[in-house]
Amino acid sequence: MQRESESTEEPEPPGRRRRRREGRTRTVRSNLLPPPSAEDSVAGATKGERLQRLGCVQHVADNRLKTTKYTLLSFLPKNLFEQFHRLANVYFVFIALLNFVPAVNAFQPGLALAPVLFILAVTAFKDLWEDYSRYRSDHEINHLGCLVFSREEKKYVNRFWKEIHVGDFVRLRCNEIIPADILLLSSSDPDGLCHIETANLDGETNLKRRQVVRGFSELVSEFNPLTFTSVIECEKPNNDLTRFRGCIIHDNGKKAGLYKENLLLRGCTIRNTEAVVGIVIYAGHETKALLNNSGPRYKRSQLERQMNCDVLWCVLLLVCMSLFSAVGHGLWMQRYQDKKALFDVPESDGSSLSPVTAAVYSFLTMIIVLQVLIPISLYVSIEIVKVCQVYFINQDIELYDEETDSQLQCRALNITEDLGQIQYIFSDKTGTLTENKMVFRRCTVSGIEYSHDANAQRLARYQEADSEEEEVPRGGSSQRGSIGSHQSIRILHRSQSTKSYWRTGSRAEAKRASVLSKHTAFSSPMEKDITPDPKLLEKVNECDKYLAISRHQEHPLAQLSPELSDVFDFFIALTICNTVVVTSPDQPRQKVRVRFELKSPVKTIEDFLRRFTPSRLTSGCSSIGSLATNKSSHKSGCSFMSTLSNDSMLFRLEERLGQPTPAIASNGYSSPADSWEPEYPQEPQPKQELRFEAESPDEAALVYAAKAYNCALVDRLHDQVSVELPHLGRLTFELLHTLGFDSIRKRMSVVIRHPLTDEINVYTKGADSVVMDLLLPCSSDDARGQHQNKIRSKTQNYLNLYAMEGLRTLCIAKRVLSKEEYACWLQSHLEAESSVDNREELLFQSAIRLETNLHLLGATGIEDRLQDGVPETITKLRQAGLQIWVLTGDKQETAINIAYACKLLDHDEEVITLNAESQEACAALLDQCLHHVQSRGSYTPEKTESCVNVGFSSLYLASATSTVSGPSPSLVIDGRSLAYALDKNLEDKFLFLAKQCRSVLCCRSTPLQKSMVVKLVRSKLKAMTLAIGDGANDVSMIQVADVGVGISGQEGMQAVMASDFAVPRFRYLERLLIVHGHWCYSRLANMVLYFFYKNTMFVGLLFWFQFYCGFSASAMIDQWYLIFFNLLFSSLPQLVTGVLDKNVPAHVLLLKPQLYKSGQNREEYRPRAFWLNMVDAAFQSLICFFIPYLAYYDSDVDMFTWGTPITAIALFTFLLHLGIETKTWTWLNWTACVFSIFLFFTVALIYNASCATCYPPSNPYWTMQALLGDPVFYLICLIAPITALLPRLFFRALQGSLFPTQLQLARQSAKKYPKKPETTKETLAQKHFPGDTKTELSEGMNTSPFETLSKDCASEASQHTQQPSCSPKTNREPSTVDISVPLREDTVLEDLGAQAPGSSRPDEAVLEACPENSKRKPTSSSQEAPLPSLFNLPSFSSLNWISSLSLVSGLGSVLQLSRSSLQMDKQDGEFLSTPPQPDQDLHGLQGQATDYF
Amino acid sequence: MAMNYNAKDEVDGGPPGAPGGTTKTRRPDNTAFKQQRLPAWQPFLTAGTVLPTFFIIGLIFIPIGIGIFVTSNNIREIEGNVFMYYGLSNFYQNHRRYVKSRDDSQLNGDRSALLNPSKECEPYRRNEDKPIAPCGAIANSMFNDTLELFLVANESDPTLTLIPLKRKGIAWWTDKNVKFRNPPGTESLKERFKDTTNPVNWLKPVYELDPEDEDNNGFINEDFIVWMRTAALPTFRKLYRLIERKNDLHPTLPAGRYYLNITYNYPVHSFDGRKRMILSTVSWMGGKNPFLGIAYITIGSISFLLGVVLLVINHKYRNSNNTADITI
């Protein structure tokens, strides 16, 4: 929770761990030591003294987790303080307090406070509850146990997590969760390694390796905390998970650097290591994990912003009404005061109020009385509705992913309705559109391509199997079966991590992460079982055999032909150039080294571990024992000498490792389930099925691929890698360095010493664009060089081909280093490694120095399969009017091909490619493209006309014609050009161009660029944006967008943590947006509108009354009703409607994504709707006021007996109004309405019977009871609401039958064709809705014709491409479609080949495509029956708004007139003493005795 | 749909071979409520569906309206009990400060409130250091004209017969018996009110409001109670007296000349008001007010008309809708 800045700036509480405040470092020393010497504690002298006095050595930041905001005492003030940050709350409290001023009060002051207090209490209760659940989970976590070394008892004792302090020594066992940030000092691992799983932190399930601090790994005996006297200096707590720097200063003054490899982070899990000991560096809230854990985000939705604007209108209205009333009251006072009217009440001292003062008082009172206009309950209601919406989204079973057992998560509670208004989607590619499950597809070695056809067929089979699986409920699917063998152990982990989950974001995520860990990420059979290419396999075998024979010769590799040598190296590189950790399913990752005897009772411990969760493993002594013996006996000989002297490193070079033990008899890969053989415990586990845990799926894919060629990685330690070959046996490579992958270098390298040649080799694997540039330049003079060049160009060609296929390409290269070169490089590298300042920079430089002059071995193509349903989803989203941009870091070709595969790009359409080398070029290209696009735009209107003319007879003709003019093009831009285009000068042009394009594809873009693009579109186009991604590189984009969606996939939780919504798969986006987004928007929009209507109407009643009470701010409605009306009586039905109403059923929305546009265009809640609603509210309040007024005119009715029916009428009117607006009536709606009425009358009856003298001034004793006996009450309760709603009902009916909107048509059709499983879908799809084509055309008439056409055609086209899968129509005539596709593909391929942006080439393509379309035309026109009704309807709907608007506004003005004339009449009557109408009535009263006195 | 899920549920309950088999999936419940599939009535507002509503409204409202109208207009013969009202116009009894200016506790006979009235009564709370009973502006402005009705025997004979006017039975029963009470005690009313003074504008103290009936004095005087029920609108009438019907044979007020004697105490010029006296009988729905009847008839007719309009529209455009449906 704490941010870095806070934690560094906050005053240090006493008892905190001492830090050196003056520096930017913190010093940590053992808690077991006597008090530090004086010079260290100068800074905190007083504190130190105090502590010493207490006899305590270390004063200590404890590991207590406290995420609660409040304590019992601080809750009330703090919570209130927070709530008053909301302006609305302040306003309401202000109004309520105003009531305490006697001169202006309108209600009993206490009563006026009630609603505000209620609202505050509800919020406070919610906060309290949240805080309490936080407290409970904190408590649970704080009371987890772990072993801490105790000074008193001289051994490790069990303590709670919260009792751990900085400087404590903690001992952790396998599968335990790390309680704090701990510096690793000792490990049971002979190499001082420790593996941790960081799933809780970043969701990555692969193991990360951590290393004991240098100088501690070679301790002979078990690490003894008591002897630890070194001082650790490190950074202040910060939230950078990927960085840790510091140094440890030993007693003898020696320093050793500390890096992130030495730090165990809180929340991770120890794996694969029996026991580790470390010293706590950061505890509690200073741990990196907690510093990273920022709270939930608050976003304000678009609708809410619009609503706030309307709230301001309401404020204005309120002020106007109050002002009007105040002026009125002033005048009225002036008139009656002089005459000392009987009803004029002077001030308490007898003096009379001056009219001006009275007006001011009246103004304030009016504000109180009319406060309802600013809906106090609106905010609360919206929050309730949103929570319910989130609940329903979470509960949607169709958003539940079977495979990962996860459902959609809403992380942001307050932007659900934004989902219904998205205009732009920015998507990542890898892992979002694709599975991020890498499958080795093909490779090229030494210029020869191996196509792996069998492999391709196998993949195709999987694909089929997959789709079959979808239909058949999968029972014990193959995928799970294959990993079933290690299931048991995984379950262990899982139960553990579920129990002691660790909160990064929410409980749910921790749980989910643990579930994820059950499925080991990259081990589906599809990726594992690779069918080798026979040719290549043969070559590998040849190598292998040959080397097996010649291994003892001087230069075994030299005898091989260069090609075979390359093949061999290629596979060695595939196998070892990575960071893959090998595990065996039935084993914990217990490391066994061949040249050591095995630690004694491993087998039993493992069994033990398997059965019990380790946290309960109390008898860990045996493993400790083994750790000790192991260390003592073997450490000295084997370990990596990590002293920093170069001499010793070089010395090691000379040292020759012993040959590994001879090969194990046969390769046992085919029999994976062989059990552990107790007789040969020292042998590694070759008979086990090996599992490769990789940091990225690519790596795993390559290792599995190599394994398919019998070149299997069997063991990886930090200083050696073992590879198993059938003939050659086990080869152990001494691993000298691993230069990890980073996104800047885009490659990784390993430096090894080859066991056969004893040479030092560098194997590099990286993106082709990078690696190809780093190759050793070859002179074209000699044959060898020419050959090399040929290989390179061939490889490059194949690379291009792979990219065309949408494969991810990697180049494999090698470099042989001479010892001198290596020594030279090593020196600088070690310097870089040991430097404390800008170590990263130096290491980067060092890596660059090494990775040059490479020899190209080959290249691989890895397939990243599209996720299920991606093309369909994209098509649907397109139809829904969403613009989809793909922002990817991948290379252009790959991206384009994936884009084609997922229907983002269409082969029909023109693709503009923007690749610029410089700013100027970019500007020029942009201009050119713009010109091109605009020139298309300029002649398109003519086309459109013709298109429309013909289009009525046949829709397909229209689409055919439009293909000639072409749908809007797509834009492909690479990262470099994007950088130029995003420049201030060009961004407008770029945006303008991008806006014209159907889809935009940004390749090779950096995370920053991604977010810049989103920001640009958001700010410049004022569009609603959604960003979806799965990886850390998408985080910035996700955060910038209006709605951020994270894919809770395989690349960790970072994207999810940053997102507002997390979906398991891309395809769920469709339902999330098109169904839930639409519903949420429509529900909330209607509810907000209804709220405004309701409050205005209610306030209107009070306002009209002012004309009859001298504008004295009097209210005929009892204050209780006035205050609780909104809160109690009329709140429930609208909430039910707001939560449950469905304007269109889900299946219709999905079938007709076009309906989504209503949200984008904000059709439901636009200013016009707001004002129409306000006018209607004014009208209704007039009716509801004047019907009772006239009915009770000149009667003996008293004020509140008259006001109560008005309240009842208002309630009925509200309910009826809601009834008209409600689209679906469930029993809940009925119940809510009945409940509302029931509640009102019950409360009224009880209230009116409760007290004879209370509740001044209304004193409504027995009023309701009396009214219930009065027939007039029932009569006006019947007529007034109906009269008030007649116009609305009538216009709704008119609109519903004359100018139905798309949504209404869709609803209607849904009603006619209720959802039936399966069959309906097809029939519906087939008929694709009458309103669809109709209104789309008519829409077009209103907007620009160009746009319509393209939309129309686009949807047509997409329908066409989509159909083959489902529609029976295309089944009937498959020929047309089948023929057209390949032909057009060709043209596009050509087109792609040499694409000069803005050139005229697309025209050619179009020309070629043209005959196709014309061919298609006749058949399709016969298919598609002409729609005669089309002639009529467009004109209707174009008239739609105009006519309805004029009608309604006309009505409004009429009303306005009648109202004012009414007032005039009335006032005349009052002021001028002309006998008004009622008097004449009296005359007519039998003429008996109407006398004026 | 549902079947699909069930099938999957069974088979895919958990990872195969999981020990114990107690796996908890996060699969949401497939209930109608959670999946938002509650059975629902989905009205669709078109001319066709709505027009019956309009006709029904018309058909119900017009008869009701006629009924009310007839009833209201039948309040003619002064038969049965006749109610005598006084009417005031332009009198703002609903003025905010006016409405508040009373003390219900005092009126309910609370002794402490009697002697120490609520602050709301200011400036009519105390007069010369004595508490005012009843306090407040409402009470202070009580209507205090006296009306007497005489029947002139005939044209020639000017003898006047006083029509007996009943002073009781004009207030709400609950007001008279629950809300308003005299201060407790067995002494005479005068004793009980002895420490109080009458409102400034009053000529008589509160315990002498009805000289004829001892039980109709003090706070429970019905004229007073009626006045204290503040009128909703500036033009109002209040019940003054009841003329009871003596027997069934004669009308309560037979045709003839009447003579109204007014003791003029109440000034209306100060507020440009007027006073009226109204005699009326009541029907089941109160006094004569033709408005409701007319309103019902009007609204019923409008509704009927709109129904017809919708019928036409429905007839005219149904075809196009249908064709659209067919062409699908």
ipTM: 0.91
Q: Quick one: average pLDDT of A675-699? A: 55
Write down the pLDDT at residue A1235: 95
State pLDDT tens for residues B212-224: 888 888 999 999 9
Q: Chain A contacts of B7, Cβ < 8 Å?
A: 473
Of the candidates A1189, A1196, A1226, the beta carbon closest to that of B85 is on A1196
- How many Cβ contacts (< 8 angstroms) between chains A and B? 374
pLDDT of residue A918: 84
CA–CA gap between residue A978 and residue A1195 (Å, rounded) = 79
Q: Is A782 annotated as a binding residue?
A: no
Could you say which of A392, A1225, A1311 has the minimum Cβ distance to residue B36? A392
> 10 Å Cβ neighbour count for A865?
20
Q: Which residues on chain B are in Cβ contact (under 8 Å) with A1307?
A: 42, 44
CA distance A747 to chain B (A): 38
How far B9 CA sits from the closest chain A CA (Å)? 9
pLDDT in tens, A227-247: 888 888 888 887 777 778 888
Q: List the single range of A513-517, A684-688, A713-717, A1070-1074 with lowest mean pLDDT.
A: A513-517
Q: Do A1293 and B47 touch (CB under 8 A)?
A: yes
Cβ distance of A1297 and B314 shorter than 8 Å: yes
Contacts of B274 in chain A (CB under 8 A): 1473, 1492
- The predicted pLDDT at position A352 comes to 78
Active-site residue (options: A189, A418, A428, A1042): A428
What pLDDT shows up at residue A1399? 38
pLDDT of A693 reads: 73
The average pLDDT across A895-921 equals 83
Tell me whether residues B35 and A480 touch, CB distance under 8 A. Answer: no
**Contact (Cβ atoms closer than 8 angstroms) between residue A680 and residue A686:** no
SS3 A251: coil
Residue A1269 assigned as binding residue: no
What's the confidence (pLDDT) of residue A492? 35
Q: Which residue of A has its CA nearest to B41?
A: A1225
| For residue A1257, cis peptide bond before it (omega within 30 degrees of 0) | yes
Q: What is the mean pLDDT of residues A1187-1210?
A: 92
With 90 as the cut, is the pLDDT of residue A410 above it?
A: no
Contact A1256 B47 (CB under 8 A): no
A1224/B17 CB distance under 8 A: no
Q: So what's the pLDDT on residue A732?
A: 86
For A1225, the closest of B40, B54, B271 (CB atoms) is: B40
List of chain B residues whose C-beta atoms are within 8 Å of the C-beta of residue A523 = none
Q: If residue A92 lies in a helix (H) or strand (E), which one and from where to where? A: helix A87-98
- pTM for this entry: 0.71
Q: Which residues of A touch B95 (CB under 8 A)?
A: 343-345, 1109-1110, 1112, 1114
Q: What is the mean pLDDT of chain A?
A: 71
Selection from A1444, A1180, A1149, A1099 nearest residue A1291 by Cα: A1444
pLDDT the model gives residue A1457: 38
In DSSP notation, A1296-1325 reads: HHHS--HHHHHHHHHHHS---TTHHHHHHH
**CA–CA gap between residue A1156 and residue A1026 (Å, rounded):** 15
CB-nearest to A400 from B27, B235, B267 is B27
A1214 in Cβ contact with A1285 (< 8 Å) = no
A613: annotated binding-site residue?
Answer: no
Residue A765 annotated in ligand binding? yes
- Give B-chain residues touching A344 at CB under 8 angstroms: 95, 98
pLDDT at position A405 over 50: yes
* DSSP-derived pairing of the beta strands A255-258 and A246-249: antiparallel
Question: From CA B167, how far away is CA B176, in angstroms rounded?
Answer: 13
Q: What is the pairing mode between strands B257-263 and B236-243?
A: unpaired
Whether residue A325 has pLDDT greater than 90: yes
Q: From CA A1295, how far away is CA B100, in angstroms rounded?
A: 49
Between these two residues, A756 and A1278, which has the higher pLDDT value? A1278
Residues of chain B with C-beta less than 8 angstroms from the C-beta of A520: none
Nearest in space to A897 (alpha carbons), one of A889, A907, A885, A887: A907
A328: pLDDT strictly greater than 90:
yes
User: Cα dist. A1248→A508, A1197, A1259, A1264, B219 in Å?
Assistant: 50, 17, 8, 6, 21
Q: How many CA atoms lie within 13 A of B278 on its CB side?
A: 29
**Chain B residues within an 8 Å CB radius of A1470:** 89-90, 234, 272
Known binding residue A428? Answer is yes
According to DSSP H, which parts of A1161-1226 are helical?
1167-1191, 1199-1221
Cβ–Cβ contacts within 10 Å for residue B45, how many? Answer: 23
Q: What tokens does A963 get? A: 């293909």
**Smallest Cβ distance to A475: which of B12, B120, B303?**
B12
Cross-chain Cβ contact A1109/B95 below 8 Å: yes
Q: Which of A1113, A1190, A1470 sits opposite B234 (nearest CB)?
A: A1470
Minimum-distance CB partner of B96 among A365, A395, A1290: A365
What are the residues whose beta carbons fall under 8 Å from the beta carbon of A422, sequence distance 6 or more? A882, A1024, A1025, A1026, A1042, A1043, A1073, A1077, A1160
- Cβ–Cβ below 8 Å for B44 and A1304: yes
State which residue of chain A sits closest to B51, comparing Cα positions.
A1293
Residue A1078 has pLDDT above 70, yes or no: yes
- CA of B214 to nearest chain A CA: how many angstroms apart? 24
Torsion of CA A685, A689, A692, A697, to 10 degrees: 170
pLDDT per residue over A1152-1177, tens digit each?
898 998 888 888 888 999 999 999 99
CB A1108 to CB B29 under 8 A?
no
pLDDT at residue B18 greater than cutoff 60: no
Q: What letter would DSSP give residue A397?
A: G
Q: Does A1010 appear as a known binding residue?
A: yes
Token duo for residue A1147: 């299946």
Token pair of A988 as six digits: 């407008």
A430 known member of a binding site: yes
CB contact under 8 A, B277 and A1490: yes
Contact across the interface for A1228 and B179, Cβ inside 8 Å = no
Lowest mean per-residue pLDDT among A111-120, A1060-1069, A1098-1107, A1344-1353: A1344-1353
What would the two tokens of residue A621 be? 């002594």
Kindly report, residue by residue over A621-656, the tens digit of the pLDDT: 333 333 333 333 343 333 333 333 344 444 444 443
Asked if A428 is an active-site residue, the reply is yes
Rounded to a whole number of angstroms, the distance from the CA of B107 to the nearest CA of chain A is 8
Q: Which residue of A has its CA nearest to B108?
A: A1253
Contact predicate A198/A1053, CB 8 Å: no
Tell me which residue of B32, B7, B2, B18 sits closest to A470, measured CA to CA: B7
Burial letters B61-91, b for 16+ CB under 10 A, else e:
bbebbeebbebbeebeebeeebbbbbbbbbb
AA identity, residue A1399: S
Question: In angstroms, what separates the C-alpha of A1262 from chain B's closest C-alpha?
Answer: 7
Answer whether B88's CB lies under 8 Å from B269's CB: no
Q: What is the pLDDT of residue A375?
A: 74
Q: Omega before B134 cis (within 30°)?
A: yes
Highest mean pLDDT among A127-136, A950-959, A1346-1355, B29-38: B29-38
Structure tokens at A1090: 């209804």
Structure tokens at A635: 């450490």
Query: For chain B, what percent of residues have pLDDT higher than 90?
Result: 31
Cα of B219 to nearest chain A Cα, Å: 14
Within 8 A of A1425 by CB-CB distance, chain B residues are: 327
Q: How far apart are CA A1053 and CA A510, in angstroms?
A: 10
